[in-house]
Amino acid sequence: MNTENLTGLKPIRRALLSVTDKSGLIPFAQALASHGVELVSTGGTAKALRDAGLDVRDISDLTGFPEMLDGRVKTLHPKVHGGILHIRDNPSHVAAVEAHEIQPIDIVIVNLYAFEKTALKPGVSQAEIIENIDIGGPSMVRSAAKNFEDVAIVTSVADYTALTDELAANAGSLSHETRWCLAKQAFAVTAAYDAAIASTLETLTNFKVEKDLSSFAEGGGPASSLYDPHSPAVFDTASLPQTLRIIQPQSAILRYGENPHQQAALYTDGTGTGVAAAKQLQGKELSYNNLVDLDACWELVSEFDEPAVVIIKHTNPCGASTGASVLDAYSRALAADPISAFGGVIGINREVDGPAAEEIAKLFVEAIVAPSFTADALERFGKKKNLRLIQITPANTPRVLKQISGGMLVQTADRRKVLESELAVATTRKPTPEEMRALLFSWTICKHVKSNAIVYARFYEGHGQTVGIGAGQMSRVDAARFGAMKAVLPLAGCVAASDAFFPFPDGLEVVAQAGATAVIQPGGSVRDNEVIDAANRLNIAMVFTGVRHFRHG
């Protein structure tokens, strides 16, 4: 064995580059070239390298065979995979590659087609989805990763800088430890990629055969006639996968979990959306509990089309309101429960401007999540160094997962919205227009409150505002009492929302005693008539949604 093997360093003499994401590509390729590495590349990657003034050898020159089938076949060739896969210390391998004039490839730089992003595009066709399944890329990644003893495989742009530094420190060589770490990462990439493809194809409803397959036995025609491959792909988000595939890269190690004695980490789904991928603009490191609260906050505030602000404490809203502006909505949300708001998390569905920031900065809060912040707002919040500001790109999360001992529970996300036209008035008295607006507002809030849940709210000066929230109680009567007890604003003339039906009249009676004049609830109890009679007796307007919003965890 030579010195190379003893030290674990292997020189890089020839590189194969084929990337979809070209960020950071040119500096890394320049670093390779500075060590005398020959660059071999394909298609758009080769063009980008040449445009930067680098000498590049086309893959067709290496293989002696042109790219073909609209680029589907370019790296699937023995002179590519032989160059990657042959073991340098195996005499028979060395003899074979020499006999067939196969040149060694020492580093492979590949990132794959953005399959998931393509699959999520509105109106994407089946043909486009299928065409974005990368074949050559994963094949090269797996070949290089398998032969990590001799070859380095680079699948992440984030590794370019560290590899550049190591090449510089070792005169153009990479260590065994680096090649092993890159290989493990590469197999994780291909595993996630294949899982994404399998999961996506499973949801394509228009791949379903609409014709009796027995017709083929009778000369019914080719399978390709059963569907139009260019028609928009329809994702059946209401269905649940036959196999649950969860492969997500670790994004961050958190200080601890819900409590200091618990370990925790954050993983992301790769879409670049939602709380997991949100951009932190300032403040302390986010904790596990911060992230849970931020998610609850954003989920609720995103329900509203008009400016809205929600203040969350331990995943439950303590104050929520819509308004003419962010400042207006915040002032109303804070007024609903200023004591509980201390140390909470705030969600805002509009860009936060300077006047709103000036007012919000007066309150101690852990974090604020919003789609954007003006320069003026950032300047004002900047005086509170520990305040976490989170800028978010909205996510579409079709399913909710919860781990239980021995397995996972999966359900579709609760996206059900109720329109006024869908409500059934159950009582003699109908809600007034103002009560109806307050009822719809309170119903939206109630969906995001832990069960059993009662939400008192009002429609005040043209906007919805919570008055008192009873969350997470074992009895619906207790939830009604607790919500009234938490009220700071006047309860007289408010409305109430219940996330599930009133099983007995007693809960409704507590709501009425608190001052509510109208109630929204799912209905469906075997004692609905008793509850309706109580509402009529108390002159309460009551509407049924026919929809329940339990939130157990």
What's the sign of the alpha-carbon dihedral 332, 334, 340, 343? positive
In DSSP terms, which residues pair with 322 in a beta bridge? 308
Q: Give the single-character DSSP code of 475.
A: S
DSSP H helical ranges for 176-325:
176-202, 288-301
Q: Among the options 35, 93, 176, 314, which is catalytic? A: 314
- Sorted by sequence, the CB contacts under 8 Å of residue 281 that are 6+ apart come out as 373, 378, 389, 390, 391
Distance from C-alpha of 62 to C-alpha of 56, rounded to nearest angstrom = 11
Question: What own/partner pairs with CB < 8 Å and gap ≥ 24 does 380-383 have?
Answer: 380/354, 381/282, 381/357, 382/282
Distance from C-alpha of 10 to C-alpha of 239, rounded to nearest angstrom = 50
| 552 is known as an active-site residue | no
**Are 137 and 110 contacting, i.e. CB atoms less than 8 angstroms apart?**
yes
Type of residue found at 511? V
Distance from C-alpha of 369 to C-alpha of 373, rounded to nearest angstrom = 10
Q: Give the single-character DSSP code of 431.
A: P
Helices 43-51 and 25-34 pack at an angle, to 10 degrees, of 70
Distance from C-alpha of 519 to C-alpha of 49, rounded to nearest angstrom = 66
**Are 340 and 319 contacting, i.e. CB atoms less than 8 angstroms apart?**
yes
| 93 is known as an active-site residue | no
Give the distance between the most distant pair of CA atoms in the chain: 97
Dihedral class, residue 457 (left if φ above 0, else alpha if ψ from -120 to 50, else beta): beta
Q: Is 537 helix (H, G, I), strand (E, B) or coil?
A: helix
Type of residue found at 159? D
Which residue, among 505, 504, 512, 451, has the nearest Cα to 481 in the 3D structure? 512
Q: Among the options 93, 146, 176, 384, which is catalytic? A: 146
Type of residue found at 26? I
Name the strand (E) or helix (H) holding 110. strand 107-111
What's the sign of the alpha-carbon dihedral 304, 307, 312, 317? negative
Say how many C-beta atoms besides its own lie within 10 A of residue 112's C-beta: 22
Cα atoms in the Cβ-side hemisphere of radius 13 Å centred on 473: 19
Which residue, among 135, 244, 248, has the nearest Cα to 199 in the 3D structure? 244
| Catalytic (active-site) positions | 146, 314
